[in-house]
């Protein structure tokens, strides 16, 4: 995934409304794109987007973020090399950065871990359903 593809994915993800409790379309988009990049990707039982790449026998690094946003509308704009819109920084941007970095490392043969990217649901509300579900996974070697 090159920089232009990463920015295109980010814009598509930001354009996909995903307020807490209504994240399914964003999770499915992220899963489709991870799958196309060679990840083993799926939407889990609670709606999280989960994708893994690298050696299944290697230590696991989890890169965890969230796909939901707070309610409200912020127009999506691309101007002067900048993208703005609801969720661009918190936290769709970091999720796309995670996917891009893991994809690049895997394709370059420089991945000495099993990298799992998780885009949790309901992080912006008190339930944090996606994070609580992800916390029940076997402990990875590290989580960011």
Q: Is this prediction's pTM over 0.75?
A: yes
Average confidence (pLDDT) per 10 residues, the chain, 144 residues: 94 96 97 98 98 96 97 92 93 97 95 96 95 96 96
Supply the pLDDT for residue 100. Answer: 98
Residues 6+ apart with CB under 8 A from 19: 68, 69, 70, 71, 124
For the CA atoms of the chain, what is the radius of gyration?
14
Dist. CA 7–CA 130, nearest whole Å: 25
Q: Give the pLDDT of residue 139.
A: 96
Choose the catalytic residue: 11, 23, 60, 68.
68
pLDDT, residue 18, reads 96
Catalytic residue among 11, 122, 123, 124, which? 123
- The answer to whether 68 is a known catalytic residue is yes
């Amino acid at each position: 995934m090159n920089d232009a593809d990463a920015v295109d994915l980010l814009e598509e993800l930001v354009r996909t409304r995903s307020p807490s409790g209504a994240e399914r379309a964003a999770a499915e988009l992220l899963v489709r794109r991870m799958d196309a990049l060679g990840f083993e990707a799926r939407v889990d039982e609670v709606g999280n987007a989960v994708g893994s790449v690298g050696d299944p026998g290697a230590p696991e690094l989890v890169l965890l973020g969230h796909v939901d946003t707070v309610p409200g509308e912020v127009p999506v704009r691309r101007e002067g090399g900048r993208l703005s819109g609801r969720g661009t920084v918190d936290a769709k941007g970091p999720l796309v950065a995670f996917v891009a970095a893991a994809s690049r490392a895997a394709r370059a043969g420089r991945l000495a871990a099993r990298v799992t990217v998780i885009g949790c649901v309901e992080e912006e509300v008190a339930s944090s359903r996606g994070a609580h579900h992800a916390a029940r996974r076997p402990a990875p070697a590290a989580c960011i």
